[in-house]
Amino acid sequence: MVRHMFSNFLLLWSLSHDLCVTGLTYYASREQSWNNRNLSSIPVDLDIRIRRLDLSNNFIRQLHKLELPYLEQLDLSNNQLDLISEGLFENLVRLEQLNLSRNELNNNLGNNSKALQSLSGLKDLDISMNGLSDFAAEHYLRNKSALDQLKMTGNALTRLSHKLFTESKSLRAIAIDDNLISEIEEGTFESLIQLEVLNLAKNNLAHICDFKLRQVKFLNLSRNSVEFFVTHEDSRLYRLEVLDLSHNKLLYFPIVPKTNRLRYLYLQNNMIGSYSEAALVSETNSLYSEIVGEKIAIKNNLHSNWRPMPLIYIDLSYNHFRSFPIETLSLLLSLETLNLSYNCLQSIIWDVRNDSDSGPLRQLFFRSLKHLDLQSNRLVYISPPFLSALTQIERLNLQDNSVQPCTSADHLGSINSTQQTNLDDLCVEFAYLGTLKHLNLKGNGIKMLQPNTFQGTSLVSLSLAKNPLLVMQEGALEGVQTTLQSLIISEINLNSSRLLSLPCMPALTHLNVSNNLLDTIPRSLSCSPLREIDIRHNVFITLNPSLIRALSTNLTVMHISGNPFNCCDNRWLMVLNETEITVPDISEAECFTRVRNLTVTEYLMNPSLYCSLRTKAQEVHFGQMMIIVLFAIVLLAVFIMFSRKLCCTQRSVMV
């Protein structure tokens, strides 16, 4: 029975072994790479069974014949290829992917284009960076009815003709970025009904007067010179989901299709926001009327087209906003992330037009907004009505502004006004942000955190870094000390006595106190389940070994470099070395001995060597001193005895 089972097992093992070996041979024969071999021609005797052949990064100038009937992918990029024989590809009936980028295909256009015409089944073609002109591009795209993806990045195209893609109607993705295109003829892309991805970045396009590409899902027009983007209003559905207009010269918000699926809108690095919101909307609508031929701006096209837009992300950073476009952005009911960093906002005032002159302030809401980035403006003041409108806010970045936090009862009378008063007397009341979890106040010049500053929020992480004049009064973290998981208080000139005032934070897992004046870690931190602590660039000479051991229960990462540690006061180092705590900067950390400074890594290789030398030297020094003292005592005794004897002798002589 056992023998029979064993023989069956051997048979199965033998079969599986043969199968694996055969399979390995088969897959090895399917792909060959001759990348970067200094080849000047295609190697002879290639296995005709190969499916993928990589000949990139060589010096192949001419191609004459390839007999590889099973070849599916061919990479000839980055050679010096300028001549392809007319019949080269005739036998490559299965070729689907061809990379000819970074060559010199602008030469010998007749031969080269005829050679490519035989590849009617090609699905993926890359002819980037070949110096191709408009005329050359048209020739290379002939008889490409199956082509799915096309890359023509980095050529010399200046004008796209409606004839360009007449023989490649199946295109789904086109990249013609980094060319010199300044004009696109009507009909160039409209007939490509399967087109989903279009990249026209880094060209010279100045205007999009009538966007009609209803089939496109992703459109990249970044790094052109686009001044406006307008879509004529109609009821047809546009499939556009991502629109990138960043790094252009836009003065106005784009007028997008009224019925669309737009989810991501990139408008950073433009010139939007130079006008007030009312003027911006008015100018945009006037522009639309002028383009479509209306004599008078009849309605608010910008707002009517933005209202149904399912946008979840918009980037308006690096623009010229001096006021927050509350009314326009509040129309975006699905908006979750808004980036308005690096603008010119000094205050955010509830400047919303009322329904009537005598009525109360009209309250709008950002019902889906979770992430708001206002970094590097000049913000001093944010009005309570605006804060109240952020009903779902979770993350607020106010880094590098001039925000002074209020206490929960501070300035409530003065800041209810929509009119701006003396900015030096204003503060921001975070108690309105009940859903706020992450707050970044780094580099705001904050001077005082009074008790209950963040009460009413749901803070999980808080950064107060780089506020060198900051004084945290006792109770400043009252209300969030049980929820805080991450606290950054680096670069605030914090000393150990002030650190003692921090309350017990039972949820705290990450603490950054780097770049301060600390020389001890308070034991109160042991009540926090810290997983990571950063104490770099303080004045620690030693650390409490029992505290390190207590923290090691949860602590996994500790940063310690930039402190003047004493090598010989090393019990904490021994404890740290015994635990599973990771010290990423251990190679940068140093400690000192009486003899010289060492890296902690160097010291830990032989701890007894450096400090035992010191002890032995001290022992030798002490022994030498004892011998000298004893020798001096003996000399003194001999001198006294000799003096007495001499005196007695002199007296005897005198008698």
3-state secondary structure 421-475: CCHHHCCECHHHCCCCCEEECCCCCCCEECCCCCCCCCCCEEECCCCCCCEECCC
What does the pLDDT average to over 97-125? 96
User: In 3D, which of 559, 558, 555, 520 has the Cα closest to residue 537?
Assistant: 559
Q: Is 305 exposed, middle or buried (0-12, 13-18, 19+ CB in 10 A)?
A: buried
Q: How far apart are CA 565 and CA 568, in angstroms?
A: 9
pLDDT at position 12: 40
Reply yes or no on whether the pLDDT at 1 is more than 60: no
> Does the pLDDT of residue 293 top 90, yes or no?
no
DSSP E strand stretches across 155-291: 159-160, 173-175, 183-184, 197-199, 207-208, 218-220, 228-229, 242-244, 264-266
Query: Is residue 5's pLDDT more than 50?
Result: no
H/E stretch holding 292: helix 277-292
Report the C-alpha gap between 13 and 7 in whole angstroms. Answer: 10
Q: Are 89 and 119 in contact (CB under 8 A)?
A: yes
User: Does the pLDDT of residue 208 top 70, yes or no?
Assistant: yes
Tokens of 121: 């089944």
**363 pLDDT tier (thresholds 50, 70, 90):** confident
pLDDT at position 3 over 60: no
As a whole-number percent, the residues of the chain with pLDDT over 90 amount to: 68
pLDDT for the residue numbered 419: 46
Question: Residues with Cβ < 8 Å from 577, sequence gap 6 or more?
Answer: 604
Residue, of 470 and 605, whose pLDDT is higher: 470
551-592 pLDDT, tens digit each:
999 999 999 999 999 999 889 988 988 899 999 999 999 999
Average pLDDT (278-289) is 83
When mean pLDDT is compared across 296-310, 530-544, 619-633, the lowest value belongs to 619-633
Amino acid in position 427: C
pLDDT band at 324 (very low <50, low <70, confident <90, very high): very high
Could you report the per-residue pLDDT of 463-490, keeping only the tens digit for each? 999 999 999 998 999 999 999 999 999 9
CA–CA distances in Å: residue 519 to residues 30, 122, 212, 498, 584:
64, 69, 66, 12, 21
pLDDT at 452: 94
Q: Where are the beta strands (DSSP E) in 180-278?
A: 183-184, 197-199, 207-208, 218-220, 228-229, 242-244, 264-266
Rounded to 5°, the CA angle 406-411-417 comes to 120
Q: How far apart are CA 97 and CA 65, in angstroms?
A: 18
Backbone angles phi, psi at 199, to 5 degrees: -115, 110
- Please name the residues in contact with 569: beta carbons below 8 A apart, sequence gap of 6 or more: 541, 542
